[in-house]
Chain A
């Protein structure tokens, strides 16, 4: 398969970026999107050009490192997957593919397609954990958890913090990420103890870092590779209101 790639190139955080057009040919339809970019980079290195920088790590959809805004959608034109799980057979031969970095004030571009997502880490540091001392393993039946709640908590905990929700949101809002972190702990007995402090501090940090507000458009839910539900945002609202008035 042959493609025309329009890729955002930016030397550093402070420099001005621009689109560069590249032609790439003889790509297998079984090739993943990142493997296609690897082949492009090999071509560039062979010509003593600078390779395109992009984030990646596990390449199996669990680490949350890969990003890329492909033809107007984060993680490309497929639902419930990360960019590393996107395959070239999802494109038509001869397609022009526009590849952009995540764009948000809170996610500054470092180089080419690499953005600084440490804003998520800063929010997580405010309370996306349970403070417990290690010790003996408690008996499984000592802390009963309803199956429905454990399922909901597990679904929320699936967030890999990739930032697709921020990337696609028209307001660059981090509500889905924060709600997933708040929900997964608020639903479980172990997380309830620090629930009020957690939600207050995480929302305060989210606001401080310059993310936008939630318009309830649902774009985040549509693009989340882990299919985190909008109902988590409603739970975040509830948790926040309860924490604020009590």
Chain B
């Protein structure tokens, strides 16, 4: 058991479990984000944010969430470094084997998502903690650093930020298109009848969730006034 967490298989299991936990988090996050679309000057959204930032159970889950992110990122990097080390000199002709396309770029899409995450934290969470300041400009200058509604509107009505956000969601989708079903394979779930269903659910998840996030800046750029 002591060797389990340092073995290649153990590291992959931790990555996959942490990844699936993050998938659940994304659904919760998307649910709250979609409240931005209700036409009530952010009343419902603020209630939801107030609950998420004050409820004790959510506070406890927040620690698990940071743990999940850290495990997934740290193990992802460790695993990738070992993978690069396993082939010190590459081939002259690049590989022509039939593979799933997105699986080959997990570290690349992962790095893009990590950069997005860092900027996202700087724009919201760290503003609340007083570590960073909200973005200058935008239609709704932020007065209150605890008012996530104004911060969100302010960012989403800034075209440059919205485009950056959209591009990041596309890469998140690429990451998830492999990640979801791959996590089940790593957990040892491979069945002639059920695996195609898992892949199908994974593909729907990987398209619907990022598309849901991406719809919000599109709405604020074109339909909000």
Determine if chain A interacts with chain B: yes
Q: Given A234-B188, A235-B188, decide whether A73 and B104 contact each other with a Cβ distance below 8 A.
A: no
Task: Please state if B92 and A207 are interface contacts (CB–CB under 8 Å).
Answer: no
Task: Please state if A237 and B9 are interface contacts (CB–CB under 8 Å).
Answer: yes
A1 CB within 8 Å of chain B:
no
Q: Which of B4, B104, B192 has the most CB of A within 10 A?
A: B4
Q: Given A216-B103, A237-B13, decide whether A207 and B182 contact each other with a Cβ distance below 8 A.
A: no
A80 CB within 8 Å of chain B:
no
Q: Given A216-B103, A231-B190, decide whether A98 and B98 contact each other with a Cβ distance below 8 A.
A: no
Task: Please state if A206 and B8 are interface contacts (CB–CB under 8 Å).
Answer: yes
Which residues, 1 to 55 on A, are CB-close (under 8 Å) to B?
6, 8, 19
Bitwise interface map of A from 152 to 188 toward B, beta carbon under 8 Å scored 1, else 0:
0000000000000000101111000000000000000
Which residues, 99 to 123 on A, are CB-close (under 8 Å) to B?
100, 103-106
Interface residues on A, range: 35 or more
Task: Please state if A230 and B185 are interface contacts (CB–CB under 8 Å).
Answer: yes
| Contact partners of B89 in chain A: CB under 8 A | 103
Task: Please state if B88 and A215 are interface contacts (CB–CB under 8 Å).
Answer: no
- Contact stretch, chosen from A59-67, A86-94, A136-144, A238-246: A238-246
Cα separation A73 to B96 with both chains bound (whole Å):
6
Task: Please state if A217 and B86 are interface contacts (CB–CB under 8 Å).
Answer: no
Interface residues on B, range: 35 or more
Query: Within the complex, what minimum Cβ distance (angstroms) separates B47 from chain A?
Result: 41
A125 CB within 8 Å of chain B:
no
Bitwise interface map of B from 69 to 94 toward A, beta carbon under 8 Å scored 1, else 0:
00000000001001101111111111
Query: Within the complex, what minimum Cβ distance (angstroms) separates B8 from chain A?
Result: 5
| Contact partners of B83 in chain A: CB under 8 A | 170-173, 212-213, 215
B100 CB within 8 Å of chain A:
yes
Task: Please state if B4 and A244 are interface contacts (CB–CB under 8 Å).
Answer: yes
Specify the main secondary structure of chain B where it touches its partner.
Answer: loop
Cα separation A234 to B9 with both chains bound (whole Å):
11
Query: Within the complex, what minimum Cβ distance (angstroms) separates B74 from chain A?
Result: 14
Task: Please state if A210 and B86 are interface contacts (CB–CB under 8 Å).
Answer: yes
Query: Within the complex, what minimum Cβ distance (angstroms) separates B72 from chain A?
Result: 14
Q: Which of A172, A203, A216 has the most CB of B within 10 A?
A: A216
Query: Within the complex, what minimum Cβ distance (angstroms) separates A116 from chain B?
Result: 15
Task: Please state if B11 and A213 are interface contacts (CB–CB under 8 Å).
Answer: yes
Partner of B93, one of A71, A171, A215, A244: A71
Task: Please state if A105 and B85 are interface contacts (CB–CB under 8 Å).
Answer: yes
Task: Please state if A171 and B3 are interface contacts (CB–CB under 8 Å).
Answer: no
Partner of A218, one of B1, B12, B99, B188: B99
Which residues, 180 to 206 on B, are CB-close (under 8 Å) to A?
182, 185-190, 192
Task: Please state if A73 and B86 are interface contacts (CB–CB under 8 Å).
Answer: no
Cα separation A72 to B99 with both chains bound (whole Å):
13
B95 CB within 8 Å of chain A:
yes
Cα separation A101 to B181 with both chains bound (whole Å):
33
| Contact partners of B8 in chain A: CB under 8 A | 173, 203, 206-207, 211-214
Task: Please state if B9 and A236 are interface contacts (CB–CB under 8 Å).
Answer: yes
User: What are 15 A-B contacts defined by CB distance under 8 Å?
Assistant: A19-B92, A72-B91, A73-B97, A100-B93, A103-B89, A172-B87, A204-B3, A210-B86, A212-B82, A212-B86, A213-B8, A215-B103, A216-B100, A219-B98, A234-B190
The 8 closest A-B pairs by CB, nearest first: A234-B190, A212-B86, A238-B188, A171-B83, A72-B96, A172-B86, A237-B188, A72-B93
Q: Which A residues are closer than 8 A to B by beta carbons?
A: 6, 8, 19, 69, 71-74, 77, 98, 100, 103-106, 168, 170-173, 200, 203-204, 206-207, 210-219, 222-223, 230-231, 233-238, 240-241, 244-245
Q: Which B residues are closer than 8 A to A by beta carbons?
A: 1, 3-4, 7-13, 79, 82-83, 85-100, 103-104, 106, 178, 182, 185-190, 192
